[in-house]
Structure formats: structure tokens, C-alpha cells
Amino acid sequence: MKYSLLIPLALFFGLAIIWFLPKPSEAQNPPALNLVETVEQGYLAHRRGDYDKAIELYTSIIKRRGLTVKERAVSYLLRGEAKRDKGELQEAVYDFTRALNQWPNYPQAIFFRGQVLVAMDKLNEAYADLARAVELDPNRESYRTHLALLEKRMTGAGFLLDEKAEPLVITPPPE
């Protein structure tokens, strides 16, 4: 009688083990990271200088369905930062612009785009962006400092400052 119970129990536990073992497709394709984990992985890749990995991770976020407008804008901003640090300045400008297309009054995207435009020596366009960032977030010290430095650089180079300059209208290529 004791042995008659062992066979069904062994069968049950054997099937349970087989059921819970990863399927071959799961072993080859691990489950996708959730949004927060993906952002964290992208941030860590960016910090260690693995810009291609960071760009890949941020791109995977951008392609997700169901993101809010602000989540998509932040994802473009993060990818733009990775591209900027990789030295892909024009591509970074496109991503910061894509962020602004999602969230037009996103001060950080305007500010970062302005910084990249300074690096590209597009000073008038940079001035318009940095002035707009200060307008949107006047208490941010770094925005005011960068605008003041740019104003000094421009006046020293003989540029006329256009106080009414509008931020640059950029049309990024489709992805």
C-alpha cells in the first residue's frame, strides 16, 4: 500500500518539475525588462560609457506601446543625452526635438538642445533655446548660468542678441 502512493506522487512531482522548467523559447528569449528596469539599465550603460547599449535600451522604450506623452518625451531626452555624449550631435538635436514634439514646454529638452547647438556653433539658435529654458524654469541656476555665458560669448564675438528670438524649428527625419 505504501508503494502504491509513491508512484502517483512521483508522477505528480515529475510533472510539476517539467511544468516549471523554462521552456526552450523562454531560455533563449528572457522576458522583457519592465520600464523602470530598462531605464535603469540604460542609465548604467550610459554612465559606464557604453553609449550604444544605452541608445539601444532607450530606443526599446520609445518603441513601446502605451507610454504617456511625458514618458516618451523623457525617453527621447535620455537617448539624446547618450547620443550627445557619444558625439552624435546632430542626432542628439533630433532626439531633443522629438522630446519637444511630445512635450513642447519641456525645459530640460530645450536646455539640452541649446547646449548641443552651442557645441555645434549655432549660437543664435542656441540662444533662443537657452532663453526659452530660462523662461520656462527661471529658478534653475544652471539654465541662467549657461545663458549668461552664451550671451558673453556672443557679445564678445560681435553677435547681436535677439531678445525675441524663437527657438529653432527642426524637423527630425522619421525613425
Q: Are residues 73 and 86 in the same domain?
A: yes
Within a domain: residue 59? yes
Q: Are residues 160 and 119 in the same domain?
A: yes
pTM of the model as a whole: 0.77
Q: Domain count for the chain, please give it.
A: 2
Q: Are residues 126 and 159 in the same domain?
A: yes
pLDDT at 157 (0 to 100): 85
Q: The domain containing residue 38 runs over which residues?
A: 32-104
Q: Are residues 80 and 143 in the same domain?
A: no
Mean pLDDT for the stretch of residues 57-65: 95
Residues 6+ apart with CB under 8 A from 1: none
Within a domain: residue 171? no
**What is d(CA 69, CA 64) in angstroms, rounded to the nearest whole number?**
12
**What is d(CA 139, CA 143) in angstroms, rounded to the nearest whole number?**
8
- pLDDT-based confidence at residue 9 (cuts at 50, 70, 90): very low
Q: What single DSSP character describes residue 50?
A: -
Q: Lowest-confidence range among 39-43, 66-70, 104-108, 165-169? A: 165-169
pLDDT in tens, 117-146: 999 999 999 999 999 999 999 999 999 999
Output the CA torsion 76→78→79→84 (10° steps). Answer: 120
Give percent of the chain with pLDDT exceeding 70. Answer: 77
Q: Are residues 76 and 131 in the same domain?
A: no
